Structure 1
Amino acid sequence: MDMYVIVLTVISSLVAVLLVVLGIQLFLTLRDARATMLRINGLIDVMEHTSLRFLVPLTNLHGFMNGVKSGVHVFETFVSYLKKNEDSDD
């Protein structure tokens, strides 16, 4: 065989082996990245659940405060009505 054919065959074989090794490394890296993304997703889900558990009582407190505010407004209106009627009776 010609020397060029042997050199090209060896180089082609080395490039093929190198590409196979790089493909395997890429596959392993992508698998690790997927596992990391799944862990991050689980962590985000836990944080979301925890924050929602914290926000529900605050939302209830906000509703309670709005109810108290409305009640105070009704009471103030009633008191002003009583004062107005008391002043008109005099």
Structure 2
Amino acid sequence: MKKLNNHFHKAFENRVRLGIMSALVVNETLDFSALKEFLEVTDGNLASHLKALEKEAFIGVSKTFVDRKPNTKYSITAAGKNAFGAHLNALENLIKSHK
């Protein structure tokens, strides 16, 4: 059996974090509600995963008000794009090595 590639990132092992990053790679920004609906998760679950990705500096956060209601938008950072790209490449290489 071949050794696993060391470019996997622990931050992306969870399906919610993987989904957040996937959604942000193809969208410039998404707000909390859009991510919640897309991923079908609770507020608390999404918030905890967003905080973890923010702590890694993989996502950026922008808070504004829309009609006096708070609106939080998220975007992927350059570091996030690089780390997520490396993670996806590692997955691809793993799949290719088992054909």
TM over 0.5: no
Please say which structure displays the higher CA radius of gyration.
1
TM-score (ref. length: structure 2): 0.24
- More strand, by proportion: 2
Greater RCO (CA < 8 Å, at least 6 residues apart): 2
TM-score (ref. length: structure 1): 0.26
